[in-house]
Structure 1
Amino acid sequence: MDKIWRKMVQSQDILFAFLLGVVALPALYFILQPDPVYPPKPRIPSPPPSPKFTNISTPYDEAEIVTLITDLYELFIKLNCFSHNDVTWPSEQGHQINEELCRQLNLDDAVVSLMKKIPYVNGKLYSCFHLFPRSIPYSFLQDDDIVASRDPIEPEEVRLHYILPHDIALSYNFRDGMALVLDTKDNTVREIDNDDGPWDNTVFERPEDPDHYRNYEPQHATSYFRSLNDRIRSLDLIPSYVSGWGGEYHGNSDAKVRDEIKSILTTKYGWPNQFRQVDWARDSEEIWVDVINRSIS
C-alpha cells in the first residue's frame, strides 16, 4: 500500500512539474524578447531660436533705446496685455524719480536719464507680467526697485554696488527666468539666466568670479530690442496677460499655443494691417484661457 501511495505522489509531482513548465516556458519566452522598437514621433517644425547679436557695435543712443522700449509697450497695449491707462508715460521733462537715491548709489547720469524716460506699468500690475521674455520689469518710480535693480541676482541680500554704475538692470526673474542688463557705455545688453551660466567659449571679463553678470556675453542693445519688437509683430513671439494668471510670452517652447493664437489673430482679427483691436480686447482673455487649457488637457 505504501508503494502504491508513493507512486501516486510521484506521479502528481511529475504532473505538477509538467504543467508548471507548460505555463512558465511561454512566459519566459516573452520575457526574453527584446523591447519593441517604435517609430519616432513626428517632429513638429518650429521657427529658429532668437538670434544673438554679438558682432554688431554702435554708440549708445538713448533716444533710440527709449523709442524701442516705448514701441514694445505699444505692442503690449495693442495685444491687450494692458491698457494705455495702465501705463505711466514720461512727461517732456521725464518722470519724477528719487534722484538723490540714485546719487547715493553712484549711478551714472546716463542710467538716471534712461530711468526718467521709459514708460512703466501702474500699480502692482508691473510685477505680474514679462516685459521681456522670462523677465519682469522694474519700475524706477519705486525706490525699492531702484535699490533692488542694483543686484537682480541676490534679492535677499542686495549688493548695492554689484551692477556697475553705467549698467542698468531693466528686469529680473528670480525663478526660471533671466535679468536683462543694459550697458549704457557700450550699447549692449546681457541676459543673466537664472538656470544657466555664461555661454560656452565666452571670454570671461571677471575670471576670478565665473558667475559674475559681466561674464555673460554682451549683445548689441539696439538690435536686441528691435528684433524683439519685430518678432512680436510677426507673431513669432506673442505676449499674453490673463487675470489671475499673469503675463508671459508664448514662442518656440510653447509652439502649440503660439501657433493657434497666431492663426486666430491673423484670420479672425485681421492682424496686422486690418487688426480689429477693440474686438480683440473684448475677446482675448477668453480665447487665451480656452487655448491654454486645451493645450494642457
Structure 2
Amino acid sequence: MICNHCSVAQSFMADPAPRLYRPYPWPWIQPSILTTAVEEERRETNYWLDADLGKDDNPDDSDSEYVPSESSDGDASTSDSEDQMSASTADEDISDSELTHIHTDAQAGWRSSPTPSMKVLEEEEKLARQIESLVKAEEDAAAAYNPDEVVSLITQLYELLVAMGHWPEGGIRYPPHTNPAVDEELAVQLGYAPAAVSLMHRLPYLTPEANGSDQFEIVARTRFADYTLERHLHEGRRPYPYLYLDGCPDIDPWLLPLMLPRRDGSNIMLDTRLGVVRAYNTEGGPQQDSIEYRRHGKVPDAERDQATWTEYRRTALVPAARYFSEIIYAYRSLSRLPILNPDRNDPKEERHPSWPAWLANQDQEEQDTLLALYRECGWPHEWRRAEFMDKWEVKKKEISARAREAMQQDSGKRRQ
C-alpha cells in the first residue's frame, strides 16, 4: 500500500538544473544571483590549469594533418605568398576589409601585454558592468517576488522533510496561528517592517518537539524561527552574532530571519523588499568574491567593526522562489540526505583523512544504508514511509553497535 506521503513527494515542481559550484553548506547557502553556469563550471574545474603545456603528446607528428605547401620553401618570394594567400582566402569569401585587417595584424606582430594601470582600469570597468547587472537582477527579483509563492514553497519543504522521515508526523503547525499567536504589537514595537510582520502570520512553524532538539536540525547549529515565540521575535531583530557585538544596531527592518543560528550556524534571511534570500555561514561570513560584496568597496581597517555590523548587506542574493526550489530539489533528489547529522549529509563527501577510521566508516555506512532504504521503500513515487522508518531504526542500531565495537578496539590499540 502506498503511503499518503507519496502524493506530497510527487507534488513538487520540476527539478531545477543542479549547480556545479556549491558553497558550504549547500543547498542552504547558494551562489550569487549573478553566478552563471559558465562561471560555475570554470570555478569547479579550473580547466585552464589542467593543460599540460610542457608535454608533447605527439612527438613524431604521425597524426598531424599539416602538409607543407610548395610555396613554403625558404626561397619563395613574398609576392608569390601573397598571391597564394589571396587565392586561398578568396575561396572562403573573405572580404577585402577583412584581408586588410589580417595584413595589418601580421605586420604589427604580437601585441604587448596590458600595463598594470590598464589592468586596473579593465577591472574597474568590468566591476561597474557587473554592478549594473546586479542592480537589474535585483529589480527583476523584486518585480517577480510573490509572498504567497514563497510561503507555499516553504510549506512544501516542511512537508517534504516530514515525508522523508526527518521530522515526526504532526511536526508542522499551519496558519492561522492562534495558540500561541504572533504578537503583532510587539513585532511592530521591535521595528519589523509591515511586509515582515505579514509573513510571520502566514508562515508554517514547527512544533516544539521538531524544533527543540539537535537530532531534528536540518542546518547545523541552526534552528527555524518561530515568531509565535516572544524570544524569537526579539532574537530576529539582532540574530547571532550581532547580539554579541558591542554597539551593533538591529538588522534592517525589512529582513525576516527564517532561521536563528548559534555559534558556527547559518544566517538565512528573507529580504521582503527585494524578494531574495541572504544566506551565509556565521563563521566565514558572506562570500567576499561575490559582486554583492565587492560593490561596497574594500573595508578600511578602521571601519572593519562597523562593516561587520551590516555584513548581511554584502551577502550573495538569491531570488526567494529559486532558493527554496533548489533546497527542495536537493533533498528530493537525495543529493543531500535528511535524518543524518547535517554536517555529514552529503553522500558524495570525501572523508577527511584525520578522522578516526571507525567514525568515517560509521558515517559512510549510514549514508549508504539510508540511500538504499529510500530506494527500497519506493522513494519518491511509491513511498512507504512507515516501512522505511521501521527498517531505518533497526539498521541504525546495528550500525551504532558496530561503531562502538570499532571505537573500543581503536581505543585499546592506542593504550597498548
Global fold match (TM > 0.5): yes
Aligned to 1:269: 377
Give, in angstroms, the shift of residue 198 of structure 1: 2.2
Distance 1:182 1:98, change over 3 A: same
> Is residue 277 of structure 2 the alignment partner of residue 189 of structure 1?
yes
Contact kept in structure 2, 1:205 and 1:214, CA below 8 Å = no
Distance 1:101 1:288, change over 3 A: farther
Distance 1:239 1:107, change over 3 A: same
Give, in angstroms, the shift of residue 148 of structure 1: 0.7
Following superposition of structure 1 onto structure 2, how do residues 87-166 of structure 1 map, counting pairs within 5 Å? 87-91=172-176, 96-128=181-213, 129-132=216-219, 135-154=222-241, 157=244, 161-166=249-254
User: For each residue in 1:91-136, what CA deviation from the matched residue of structure 2 results, as whole angstroms up to 9, or x when unmatched?
Assistant: 3999820001111012111111111111111124313233446632
Q: Secondary structure at the match of 2:237?
A: coil
Q: Which of these residues, 136, 141, 150, is aligned with residue 65 of structure 1?
A: 150
Q: Which has the higher contact order (CA 8 A, sep 6+)?
A: 2
Give me the whole-angstrom Cα distance separating, in 1, the residues matched to 2:286 and 2:187: 29
> Is residue 289 of structure 2 the alignment partner of residue 203 of structure 1?
no
More helix by share: 2
> Is residue 322 of structure 2 the alignment partner of residue 223 of structure 1?
yes
Distance 1:259 1:156, change over 3 A: same
Q: Secondary structure at the match of 1:81?
A: coil
Amino acid across the alignment from 1:52: P
Distance 1:284 1:120, change over 3 A: farther
Give me the whole-angstrom Cα distance separating, in 2, the residues matched to 1:254 and 1:143: 42
> Is residue 33 of structure 2 the alignment partner of residue 54 of structure 1?
yes
Q: Which of these residues, 273, 283, 289, is aligned with residue 391 of structure 2?
A: 283
Distance 1:237 1:133, change over 3 A: farther
Q: Secondary structure at the match of 1:180?
A: strand
Give me the whole-angstrom Cα distance separating, in 2, the residues matched to 1:186 and 1:170: 15
Give, in angstroms, the shift of residue 259 of structure 1: 4.2
For normalisation by structure 1, the TM-score amounts to 0.71
Aligned to 1:250: 345
Contact kept in structure 2, 1:231 and 1:237, CA below 8 Å = yes
Which residues of structure 2 form unaligned runs of 5+?
1-19, 35-136, 352-363, 407-416
Give, in angstroms, the shift of residue 184 of structure 1: 0.7
Q: Which of these residues, 78, 85, 88, is aligned with residue 163 of structure 2?
A: 78
Give, in angstroms, the shift of residue 214 of structure 1: 1.6
**What root-mean-square deviation, in Å, do the aligned CA atoms of Structure 1 and Structure 2 show?**
3.2
Amino acid across the alignment from 1:262: L
Give me the whole-angstrom Cα distance separating, in 1, the residues matched to 2:220 and 2:324: 11
Q: Secondary structure at the match of 1:162?
A: coil
User: For each residue in 1:158-192, what CA deviation from the matched residue of structure 2 results, as whole angstroms up to 9, or x when unmatched?
Assistant: 88952211001111222332110110111111223
Give me the whole-angstrom Cα distance separating, in 2, the residues matched to 1:151 and 1:218: 20
More strand by share: 1
Q: Runs of 4+ in structure 1 displaced over 6 angstroms?
A: 92-95, 246-249
Distance 1:173 1:183, change over 3 A: same
Distance 1:254 1:100, change over 3 A: farther
Between the aligned residues of both structures, percent identity stands at: 23
Give me the whole-angstrom Cα distance separating, in 1, the residues matched to 2:182 and 2:343: 27
Contact kept in structure 2, 1:181 and 1:192, CA below 8 Å = no
Contact kept in structure 2, 1:169 and 1:180, CA below 8 Å = yes
Tell me the matched-pair count: 246
User: For each residue in 1:194-244, what CA deviation from the matched residue of structure 2 results, as whole angstroms up to 9, or x when unmatched?
Assistant: 220221333254944342222222222211110000111101111117xxx
Give me the whole-angstrom Cα distance separating, in 1, the residues matched to 2:32 and 2:233: 28
Contact kept in structure 1, 2:151 and 2:202, CA below 8 Å = yes
Amino acid across the alignment from 1:263: A
User: For each residue in 1:16-49, what CA deviation from the matched residue of structure 2 results, as whole angstroms up to 9, or x when unmatched?
Assistant: xxxxxxxxxxxxxxxxxxxxxxxxxxxxxxx863
Amino acid across the alignment from 2:196: V
Amino acid across the alignment from 1:284: W
